Amino acid sequence: MKTSNRLRTYLITDVKIYLGLVIVFFGLSCSSDDDDDDRLGNWVDSSVFDGTPRSSAVAFTIGSKGYMGTGFDGDDYLKDFWMYDLDGNFWSQLADFSGSARSAGVAFANDGNGYAGLGFDGDNELGDFYKYNPATNVWDSITPFPGTPRRGAVAFNSETSGYVGTGFDGDNDKKDFWKYSPQTDSWQELVGFGGNKRREATTFTIGDKVYMGTGVSNGLDQDDLWVFDTNTEVWSALTDLDTDDYDVTRSNAIGFTIGDRGYIACGDSGGGVTTTVWEYNPSTDFWEEKTSFEGATRQDAITFYNGTRAFVALGRSGNLYLDDNWEFFPFEEEDEDD
Amino acid sequence: MKKALKYLLIFEIIVFGVLVGNYFLEKETEFDYYSKYYRVKVKELSDNDNGWYYEIYRGNNLLIKQKNIPGLSGNQYFKSNFQAKKIAVLVVNKLERNILPNVTREELDSCNIDFKK
């Protein structure tokens, strides 16, 4: 009787110890979140891709996969291309870009394929263009861009077409826009953009509307904001980016979309490289500042976004070339520990 | 009976030790190559594709999963475990030295990797 009691006490203590261990273990794997801030938005470092400093790369997103390549690492122009898996948080090296190594090109996605071209190879501005097929992992050249060869342009797409415009052609900043039709492999000039010429501008797409703004010309940050309706192909002017309430103007920034809001982040604000992030609400045509980017200040970064998630990666800060990758959660409060 | 409890305790400690040790041993042997910060797994492709691929981990995080031979046009795969591992080690060495981890055609050639030009 006595021993069976002892055995029972023994077993109970035993169970208690194990439960204690389990609780301690789970307790360790949780972290606290007690930060307060007026601005919403949280940045989470999502993948440490050490040793790949590069800026002025091109990027496009197809579904839950981000594609990134070319660019400049401070010494060399690059032509390697990588895929980032947004869900799995890993990278794979794809087929090399089949054009020459370059930086400051443009890219857009259309119908499951990626398109990349233009840029600067260290000596000349470029006008060639290529198509990437993710299923076959093959790059093919397409009809070259018919405008003047250039760098620092913008590119975006509708359901059926790609659009490329603005940029710097070696002599002048540009304001012309061109439409690419994948079905016919042909380019067509698009008239009707009433804004100023510029280089290093930014776009983001919400539904069938593309918003374009920022950029610089003759050392002057451009403060006009435009919306392009991809159904009617008409440009309309919106409220300027520089008002009494906010100043979003900058160049070499990144633009992305999460849900029905657009974002412009990082870049060169004229007074230096910035980490500020602004959120655009298309229904009010108003900008609100969000939690600043928590990584190092940067310009010429890239972004992957598929409408629900957005990542900011790479870029440079002065002469330092950056190699990290951050995901932005616009409606969470900032947590500096993650 | 007191003795029996003692034996039970000892037995429990042994079982616990074996389980923990086994866990770490299994973790150790999962990988095909180690460097200071990175670990490599070489795996065989499943499905209809014949070939091998590699995964590079930093800590427990998968960093690079390389199914196709890096840099080459088309879906070309490593012909052997050995060839996949050779390129994985090359990439890890670049990561350790903090340089671009991209693999060039020249490097594939000098490592005697089989591929279509």
Q: Which residue of A has its CA nearest to B16?
A: A18
Give pLDDT tens digits for A218-235: 989 999 999 999 999 999
Residue A100 near chain B (CB below 8 Å): no
Per DSSP, helices labelled H in chain A are: 2-29
Task: Output the pLDDT for position A28.
Answer: 52
Residue A148 near chain B (CB below 8 Å): no
Tokens of B83: 């060839």
Tokens of A240: 């300027």
Interface of A with B in 221-240 (CB under 8 A): none
Distance from CA of A135 to the nearest CA of B (A): 8
Tokens of B80: 């052997």
Tokens of B107: 């490097």
Q: For the residues B25-30, what does the mean pLDDT come to? A: 62
Distance from CA of B96 to the nearest CA of A (A): 8
CA distance B37 to A252: 34
Residue A49 near chain B (CB below 8 Å): yes
Distance from CA of A292 to the nearest CA of B (A): 26
* Domain range summary for chain B, segments of one domain joined by +: 28-110
Q: Which of A151, A188, A156, A146 is nearest to A170 (CA)?
A: A151
Q: Best of A15, A55, A96 to disrupt the B interface by mutation (most B CBs within 10 Å)?
A: A96
CA distance A121 to A266: 24
* Contact criterion met (CB < 8 Å) for A51 and B67: no
| All residues at 6 or more sequence positions from A29 whose CB lies less than 8 Å from its CB, including other chains | none
Task: Output the pLDDT for position A185.
Answer: 97
Give pLDDT tens digits for A275-288: 889 999 999 999 99
Phi and psi at A223, nearest 5°, equal -110, 10
Task: Output the pLDDT for position A235.
Answer: 96
Taking one residue from A and the other from B, the number of pairs with CB-CB distance under 8 angstroms is: 84
The answer to whether A132 touches A108, Cβ cutoff 8 Å, is no
Q: For residue A48, which residues of chain B lie inside 8 Å, CB to CB?
A: 58, 61, 63
CA distance A293 to A290: 9
Q: Taking 60 as the threshold, does the pLDDT of residue A327 lie above it?
A: yes
Among A47, A48, A51, select the one facing B99 at the smallest CB separation.
A51
CA distance A179 to A164: 7
Phi and psi at A318, nearest 5°, equal 60, -125
CA angle A320, A322, A324 (to 5 degrees): 155
> Which pLDDT band, with edges at 50, 70 and 90, does A36 fall under?
very low
The letter for the amino acid at A169 is D
Tokens of A134: 């993710």
CA distance A283 to A289: 16
The answer to whether A322 touches A300, Cβ cutoff 8 Å, is no
Interface of B with A (CB under 8 A): 1-2, 4-5, 8, 12, 55, 58, 61-68, 70-75, 94-95, 97-103, 105
CA distance A301 to A250: 13
Place of tokens 């602004």: A278
Q: Taking 70 as the threshold, does the pLDDT of residue B16 lie above it?
A: yes
Give pLDDT tens digits for A114-144: 999 999 999 999 999 999 999 999 999 999 9
Q: Which of B48, B27, B38 is nearest to B93 (CA)?
A: B38
Q: Taking 80 as the threshold, does the pLDDT of residue A79 lie above it?
A: yes
Give pLDDT tens digits for A238-263: 999 999 999 999 999 999 999 999 99
CA distance A61 to B12: 54
Among B5, B67, B71, select the one facing A7 at the smallest CB separation.
B5
The answer to whether B102 touches A56, Cβ cutoff 8 Å, is no
Q: Best of A9, A11, A93, A136 to disrupt the B interface by mutation (most B CBs within 10 Å)?
A: A93
The letter for the amino acid at B115 is F
Say what the pTM is: 0.81
Packing angle between helix B2-29 and helix A2-29, nearest 10 degrees?
30
Q: Taking 90 as the threshold, does the pLDDT of residue A31 lie above it?
A: no
Residue A98 near chain B (CB below 8 Å): yes
DSSP E strands in A259-332: the ranges are: 261-265, 277-281, 286-290, 302-305, 310-313, 316-317, 320-321, 324-329
